A and B are shown apart, each in its own frame.
Chain A
Amino acid sequence: MTFILQNIIDALSLGSLYALIALGIGLIFGIMRLMNFAHGELMMLGAYALFFTVGQPQAVMALIAIMFVVAIAIIMERVAFRPLRGANPATLLIASFALAYFIQHLVLLIFGARPKSVNFFFELSEFFVVGGLRIPKLQVATIVLTVLLLVGLVLFFRRSSIGMQMRAAAEDFEMARLVGVRANTVIAIAFSLSGALAAVVSLLYVIQTGTLSPGMGISLVLVAFVATVIGGMGSLVGAAVGGMIVGVLTVALQAVLPIELRPYRDAAVFALLIGFLLVRPQGLLKGRAAKERV
């Protein structure tokens, strides 16, 4: 019983983390049809921002990291993606791949490949002990934070004017522009939100692992990409649900697989997902972006 509960909490917290990443990617994809590889590098840069502000109060560190990542996200949009607006999704995909590779190797060039360690919110790695159950505080924090962010995002999209404009833009970008939605504003805000989500993920990631390296972003992004495809491309709810599914599946396989097969866990997760796409190629929730309009 304890074993099952422990795994359920593990699954929820890992799922939350993936959901946050998938949301950050899905937000941009919905509006621009851009699968943003560089999202992983945003998370990596967030971690580096923490590394270079060690010594400040932790809240200040977190704030600086978030502001830094948001700034980078906005610059990225302005310099690399704005000139490509309206290009086909394949070109955007390659551009973001090149950008991610560029940022990653620039960091490698400047700071070296060796992983670095940071002590950040170390107190969160303690446990709550309930009965025989040991629950890491960080997992609780991750789940709570994700729920809060999701509620916040929903309110933002439903209630605020700019949120509604973003939904309109995701529905039909051209039409939204015709009725007065400002393209540049909406896209800049989408990138800032996506950057903020990336920064939150990098905070959680650094608290959990305590380490950072130039290559840390890419594996997270890979998982989140698959999550957005599973959820249905272009659907935000789908992205969150997809992230959660991938997280739960990963933890479940970790628990179920015999020890000699555990190294193949990630391969098994991806294989199951490709299998799922055989049955339902459009994903769980069919996003508006799934098919090109005529």
Chain B
Amino acid sequence: MRHRIERGLLFVWPVLSLAIILVVIAALISLGPTLLQRVATEALIRLIVVIGLYVFIGNSGIISLGHVSFMAIGAYSSALMTIPPQMKKFVLDLPPFMTVLLLPAIPAAFIAAMVATLFAILIGIPLMRLSGIAASMGTFAFLAIVYVVISNWKAVTGGQSALIGLPVYTNIWVALIYAMFALILAFAYQHSRYGVRLRASRENEVAALATGINVRRERLIAFVVSAFIVSFGGVLHAHFIGVLSSSSFYLDVTFITLAMLVIGGMNSLAGAVIGTIVVSSLGELLRLMEVGVDLGTLHLAAPRGLREVGLSFLMLLILLFRPQGLTSGKEFFLPSRMTRRFLAGNTTSSTSCARSRSHRR
């Protein structure tokens, strides 16, 4: 019995440790000023998107530049189900049943995620037929399609003008709960047979094909799971700001989320979390520098745009000098001394031992 608990702990430690880090940070910040809480909430929303990105990019090794479109689809779908009907009648031109539709927050969030997932299946089938880099270009084209449609479809999305009237319910705790959900789902996927097969194809596609792995199918599964997770990021974003505009779902978010994943290390879940924490903190620091400080009559401020320049420079440095990211693509494991003690005297532990070693690579 003791062994079972210990082995269980050993197994879930990589995700448990990340969850503990996030809960501790969120709890500390929730005691702080409101502005800091908003920054942390935004960071947690980004984290959901980055975890979603990791599920596809980290496990398949293919860069997706299009996942932000699932964020957009999730956000707008949820908006259409939660904006009060009288307001919808006023700003949009929807079919009658959509106009009167009003759902509570959580069902709307899950239905919105389902809509995004459906899109992921439809677009994933052709895109996953492409080889790695061509698939990246295809996802980029998809991002552009969704952006163009959302910016112009006045009847449904409000077009160029922002869509207003969304109920605002995302706070730091709501974001934290969804982030936990994303973390657990990503971890479960990573340890499922699908995740293992896909990572095999990431390491060596030809060898994976030769051992009978249907690489296209595994990629599609990861694509769909990751789109599901990412769409929740969009939903939470929508109900955090309360206003939607198409420009908030294009290249800037694509860049920042990708930067978070790359800086943290795109081959591990720990990388996704650490990258988001580091980039969010640094981004906030640079933003504060842009706001500047008053020294008597003197106002010192860094030029605007410093945040983007700083972050892209950091990303380049990481790629040049530490291409596996801050975490080197490793998960957090218990210190090896503890691991050994847990496993000592347990003769049936060879499988779990082999398993943990293979993840350490």
Contacts and interface: CB of A to CB of B under 8 A. Distances in A.
Nearest to B315: A98
A266 B144 contact: yes
A48 to B, nearest CB: 16
Nearest to A83: B320
Given A91-B319, A93-B63, A277-B138, A101 B132 contact: no
Nearest to A280: B129
A87 to B, nearest CB: 7
A264 B148 contact: yes
B251 interface: yes
B111 to A, nearest CB: 24
Interface in A188-235: 218, 222, 225-226, 228-229, 233
Contacts of A80: 316, 320
A271 B141 CA distance: 8
Interface string B132-145: 11101110111011
Interface residues of A, number: 47
Interface in B124-160: 125-127, 129-134, 136-138, 140-142, 144-145, 148-149, 151-152
Given A35-B136, A267-B148, A102 B141 contact: no
Main SS of chain A's interface residues?
helix
A98 B316 CA distance: 6
A222 B140 contact: yes
Given A91-B319, A277-B129, 19 more contacts: A33-B133, A35-B137, A91-B323, A93-B133, A94-B63, A105-B312, A108-B308, A109-B305, A222-B140, A226-B137, A226-B140, A233-B133, A264-B152, A277-B126, A277-B130, A277-B134, A281-B134, A290-B131, A291-B131
Interface of A: 33, 35, 80, 83-84, 87-91, 93-95, 97-99, 101-102, 105-106, 108-109, 218, 222, 225-226, 228-229, 233, 263-264, 266-267, 270-271, 273-275, 277-278, 281-283, 290-292, 294
20 contacts: A83-B320, A89-B132, A90-B61, A90-B62, A90-B136, A91-B323, A98-B312, A98-B316, A99-B312, A101-B308, A225-B137, A229-B137, A229-B138, A233-B131, A264-B152, A267-B144, A274-B123, A277-B126, A278-B125, A281-B130
